[in-house]
Structure 1
Amino acid sequence: MSESPQFPPLFTGKALPKHTDPFDKAVSRAIAGVDSGTIFYSEAVDTLRAALVLAPETPLEEAIQAVYVAQIGLAESLGALAPPEVPVHFAWPDRIKVNGAVCGGVRFAADVSDPKAHPDWLVIGIEVPFMHLGGEPGENPNQTCLYEEGCVDITPMALLESWSRHTLLWLTYFMDSGFARVHNEWRPRCDTLGETISQPRSGVFVGLDEKGRMLLRQGVMTETVSLIEFAEHL
């Protein structure tokens, strides 16, 4: 694997010093008008941190579904690079789980918050720890890192390359076919589906609706919870 990651067509990479937050940089550059498809990434070796800038052509309630695309891209890239016995799952709305423990996640922001408004930009960031930054391994059984799960042969830049390729592929599916195909791929990877959950709210996680909103049953009532509620406010 080359030191500088190679990105697929339509994506370009911008390397950042390891102490610079790629998500914050991506948001500031998106506001300034950077090209869609730009991925800002940290050169740190202990954690993969990257953020993709998109310029959606749909209202926010549809554009935000690309968050699921980024999650699928991450799960598929880990599946391709990690040992075959390492399972990767999602916990709604934004966490990635490896072997049942949280191992990073996604974050996202847009320049609008109204579901019907058309955003000028959408930034989706990923963060995956490769090694523990503090404390002893196993100290928190609900948190893990890739090296602790036997993924010692993966590097952040290799995972970044793979994530960019898988994410572009699924973005193409998403733009061509809509959310249904994305939903069908995402659903089996969600390990809290059908379970009683307490976060982000209490209830039974029934599934997702056609707009990608959580269906949460509380007694005889079912409410919808949108990813938009968990976008970072600028």
Structure 2
Amino acid sequence: MAWRFELYETLGSTSDLCKEKAEAGAQEKLAIQAFAQTSGRGTRGRSWVDPGGNLAISLLFRPVNATDFLAAIPFLTALSLYETARQFSTGEADFMLKWPNDLLLSERKMAGVLIEAGGRADHKWIVVGIGANLRQAPEIEGRKLSALSEVAAPPDPVVFGRNLTLQMDHWVGVWEAAGFAPIREAWLDRAHPVGRHLAVQRRETYISGSFSGLDEQGRLLLALPSGEIIPVVTGDILLD
């Protein structure tokens, strides 16, 4: 099934509209894309600021096994973003993935993902909202952001979005054929290296340690100064 694109000049949130269509029975592989968003959302209730000319897209999936797909989709999306950005830049561009699905350029966030799920038990839907700074990065106090235009001519958001869905098809296909192991390996090849010092922030709590890879479920493994290795399920990852 080919992706069906609906393009809008302005939306409050591509994900909100995509979820409405999912609840109304829309088939999977629907892509809702806007040239500007006025109420974009990030994870943990944060806003996603859209100054225009960037990517704002939400993708609808209806997987057979929603539980397994939800565990894999952050990594499938991250890999798809990484490879699509590579297509529009030179080999010298310093892209890196940060757990679980942020795309960094020169260690500053260039793209983020918001994953939401719903529907009946026998007809689940999953909406993957993706925002990527193509033309310009918004200025947000206390945050270091980047844009693809720093390393390449900014691509047309529609062209970028269509290439992104092709990458999504590829990585979903790899996962369906071979499971999570090759996805885990590919993600690790593109992420901050093992041994990189980082901290996990959960509200006002910080846990410092070093990156020790991913386990078979995709949980971040954090090596503590004591030598203990703990799995991380949720939290903001702060790179030092």
Q: Is TM more than 0.5 here? A: yes
Using the size of structure 2 for normalisation, the TM-score is 0.78
- Report how many residues are paired: 214
Q: Does the CA contact (< 8 Å) of 2:54 and 2:131 recur in 1?
A: yes
Q: Are 2:46 and 1:42 aligned? A: no
- State the partner residue of 1:204: 210
Residues 79-136 of structure 1, C-alpha deviation per residue, up to 9 Å, x if partnerless?
1121221122111123211122211211111228xxxx88711111211112336559
Q: Displacement, 1:66?
A: 1.6
Q: Which runs of 4+ in 1 moved over 6 A?
A: none
Find the partner of 2:113 among 82, 103, 106: 106
Gaps of 5+ in 1: 1-8
Identity %: 20
1:1-234 → structure 2 map (5 Å cutoff) = 9-44=1-36, 45-111=52-118, 120-132=124-136, 134-135=138-139, 142-147=144-149, 149-191=150-192, 193-200=194-201, 202=207, 203-218=209-224, 219-226=226-233
Q: Displacement, 1:143?
A: 1.3
Gaps of 5+ in 2: 37-51
Q: Displacement, 1:144?
A: 1.1
Deviates more, 1:34-43 or 1:125-134: 125-134
More contact order relative to length (CA 8 Å, sep ≥ 6): 1
Q: Cα gap change, 1:178/1:20 in structure 2, threshold over 3 Å: closer, same or farther?
A: same
Using the size of structure 1 for normalisation, the TM-score is 0.80
